Structure 1
């Protein structure tokens, strides 16, 4: 794989050491058998913890460039490994950035791979419109009682702890939301059903019925839930682009191997100018995506209070062009590209969801446009 991007000025020597070490580990440990998705995710979380890679998923601070490098590398080797790593960080992102001392004790377990985390934000009727969340949290003495439903929750059904965003009513819309830490065994939390998707991941629909939480389960202050959720997404949206970048890099590698070995009219496919044009387009899109991703990550790591525009650009562009790169890799493989179990067929299924979760592509366009208009 082309690793020249590691020399770009966005990255430091410690990032290069991290990337090389993880590459060596992933080459020996991945991919894993996806036959039992729940079991595979549990095993991956343990393995990532034992390898020390989950130490980067949370703690005193988040190194967004490290998160991007890890997700890009894992996605290139195994999409489920990327999922397992990403959810340990996203699930505990609110605790890393806003959690109290007792809440942060969970980070020791998630960083060690001893507990699995989930981030319960999406609801059946609100989707990307977080301000319309309907799940409620009402005060009950010194604690809270939560009622509502969450859907498409990653690690739903296997997580040990969730961050839940619910409406507490301090104001209208986004101003009336708060975030809570919820242990999976809490009475009233029910896994209504599992959700099967084209690239199998643990997803579930959750229902909360009279879930009682102590006062210390509140993360931050009442009414800060929207700010907490958006700050977490600011950190992790560039990493979604990085995962897409990993998929795209693997697709280009597979395409290069194919066109160099496959012969048409007595010569390798790679000698055809049209094929060369496709390869050039794929490489161009990959480098452009990488520049946007590591620009956003660099800005956050260097103290930018918000990178909403940069993160949206990185997530939007990287996921959209990764779909195009992977589609072209399938095309260059011909019939073998759509054969179940082939690498490019698997990548084709893996990439599609990234254009939807953590803010669908059209939502990112709205975010970018509003940023431009506000600055005009």
Structure 2
């Protein structure tokens, strides 16, 4: 008898779990707002970001030149800068004031100032100076101009040294001017692209933020449709905490298994981004990340009492979470308080782990810290979700009992009035 009752309990538990899962899936696909956050935003946002950064790097930055030397050597230096892929010499100005005007009007993003003594100083063996002014509101403009001007000066310096040495062979001149030859190799981001650097972090953050918004919107809808503003309805299937939490989480996981595969696998492939992850490693890492995000979102949904609240609470957190993750801003430079605060969010470990797996080819043991942290977050947020929903079940029962009590009192009052 005990075995039969245990089997019946287990059967009822699984039946309730799958019923709740089916109901939640129906609610997701019937609610346009939730559907937008669960499907449209995860499908469209990665494409928008990827299209914006398709060019990866900034090329042909418009620059103005103020050449007060106006000699063959200064013109050669200018041609060397213009020949680079990063900079385009758009204007030649008479003085700095004219160049500043062009900067203010954003017709150019940088100035190269060559003094009158440029060629004279070099000819007399003195050191000369070329000044570079750049619009620092765009760091990529600064990078392009500084790299182009630095490479041009290094090339010109080498040519000047070779002329002064006057060795017999070209090879001797090369060895004399550059005894140690260096080679610049960009690891894990060979094209030095902005999309390859930033997009993997954004993709992982999209998964967390859309889950927060979608689950929050669903919770707000459930409360608005309930007479007592309860999150959990009174029903025979909605009796156990585990089955409610498990059923809802299973519904979200089924949706986001497809969404995550699209975001992490298909989007980088569509835009030819760096993608050297081992499929088994990526799958093993993505599972705890999605689960941690789901239970984190379900725990946070307790604060949502209206549909609109989730957008006001969660949307603004995206940019701060990206910064404190340690990707867009170096993790070593993040203050200790904010670094500790970032450990509350699955995105911190998810972003760092995914970048190392996808862009650097790391294996699971090499991201073991992030992998363990995500499983710990999954367990912790599963426990907090159970506490939250247990509390909601108790409140729903109390409200149901109050409603029954009120109904009985009304019946007694109406009966007494009839007897009188």
Structure with the bigger RCO (C-alpha within 8 Å, sep 6+) is 2
TM-score > 0.5, shorter chain as reference: no
Q: Between Structure 1 and Structure 2, which shows a larger proportion of strand residues?
A: 1
- Structure number with the higher helix fraction is 2
Larger Cα-atom Rg: 2
Q: TM-score, normalised by structure 2?
A: 0.27
